[in-house]
Amino acid sequence: MKRIVNLSLMAFLLGMTMFLVSCQEEEPLEESIDQELTLTMENDVVSLLKNMVANDGSYDNIIDGASCFDVNFPYEIRIGEEKITVNSYEDLKTVEEALDLLEDKDFVRQLIFPVTLTMADYTQLTIEDGDELNSLAEQCLEGGADEDLECVDIAYPLTLFTYNPNFQLTNTVEVNADVEFRRFIAGLTENDLLSIEFPIQLHYADSTSISVNSNSELANAIEQGRGLCDEDDDIDHNDDDFTQAHLEELLLICPWAVSRYTTSNSEATQYVESHHFTFLQDGKVLTQAAYGYEIEGEWAVEMIEGRAQLSVYFDDKSDYNGAWWVYEIIPGKIRLKNVEEENKLTLEKDCEYRPDTCSEEQIMQGLSDCKWTILNENNTFFEELALNFTTEGGLYVENANGTVVDEGSWSVTGNVVVISQLSKTLANYIGEWKVLECGLDSYKLSRGEEIIVLHKNCEE
């Protein structure tokens, strides 16, 4: 009954329009069309609809490096020495895991041809070699610049009506999927008129929905959906989607150990097993190294263009200061990439971690236990010298022969070592040095931007 009423109403409205047209034949056709009910093929709403229901090829960028098409299942890909058969979306996780294992190594990555692609308009294309695939991929607009709209979806089924230029009903069809809708639009000519049975529902990527009742409401609703999610239109296989709430909840669960840290100017991955982060509800974050003094900073998570970003800032100098994109979360691990550089950071959940910080007593007892060799942060120094911290507060500087070449005094307040009264070789090291780490065999101290490392030397 509802369908009959709707069709009758539509016929009446169109009949009225035809009457007006017959009385004013000199008026252009587009001025006689009720834009809230009927669409011409040149209408911007039709373009928005085509982009919204286009095939999203970004889910398999790990395979083809392009978001404007995808590779039809099944197919095979070689990752290093392993050949993986991809039969479904779930198998892409197997490919990703294989790539993660070889992340810091040289390896062969090869798609086995021929393969069949599904393009943005759902047409099929068979590709015979990698050159042909790469040529097509270069034509894709990546980084979110492409026209497809992936953050808003239509709630199907959807009923469509088409009319000829004389406003006569030519077809009524029910579509139940994006592919049906896109192919239906592709089959229309420039002279066809399109009408949608309202109301319809749209679902946004943030889990909200909206009901629209006209073409203008539909256009506005689609535009509002832009930027609500990360469309993954890039070729980074580790670029996963996360919500702000999900990441915040995860960070607060347990302390996190820094297990890997790679800088943009270093070819090798650094494995750092001693540093930990403890994220607190009030926006504070604590970091400790093994036997290190606790440093307090601030943290925050925000969503930028659909991507989760973690910002961490400490008052003291830290390699971790700055904004980090979260590009992968797997059980027990969070992987991040620095926003401004190519530094990468891996955090591993460590719920058993209990900080063992440097106390004033530990520092005093540790430094006075043996002699200490002084080095710069890069493990070099202009002269081979040893520091002898006595329990009475005396500080003696000895050369390689054990001869005292300078003397002064030292004291500890909290986690700060105060060096004073030196007048010769190490006179410029007078001042307050904050203890960053106090291990069994080494201490790391900082004075502003300057860092020195003391290594224990108990040889007589």
- pLDDT tens, 125-142? 999 999 999 999 888 865
At position 49, the amino acid (one-letter code) is: L
| pTM for the model | 0.55
User: How deeply is 352 buried, as exposed, middle or buried, from its count of CB atoms within 10 A (0-12, 13-18, 19+)?
Assistant: exposed
Residue 192 Cα to chain centre, angstroms = 43
Percent of the chain residues past pLDDT 90, beyond the cut: 47
pLDDT band at 146 (very low <50, low <70, confident <90, very high): low
Examine the pLDDT at 240 and tell me if it is beyond 60: no
Burial call 205-224: b when 16+ CB within 10 Å, e when fewer: beeeebebeebebbbebbee
- Picking from 218, 194, 199, 176, the residue whose alpha carbon sits closest to that of residue 2 is 199
Contact indicator for 413, 359 with CB cutoff of 8 Å? no
Q: How far apart are CA 56 and CA 148, in angstroms?
A: 7
In this predicted structure, what is the pLDDT of residue 307?
77
Q: Is it the case that residue 4 has pLDDT exceeding 80? A: no
- Which token pair is 313? 């800032």
Listed ranges 227-236, 312-321, 362-371; the one with the highest mean pLDDT: 362-371
pLDDT of residue 429: 92
Mean pLDDT of 82-105: 86
Average pLDDT over residues 281-305: 83
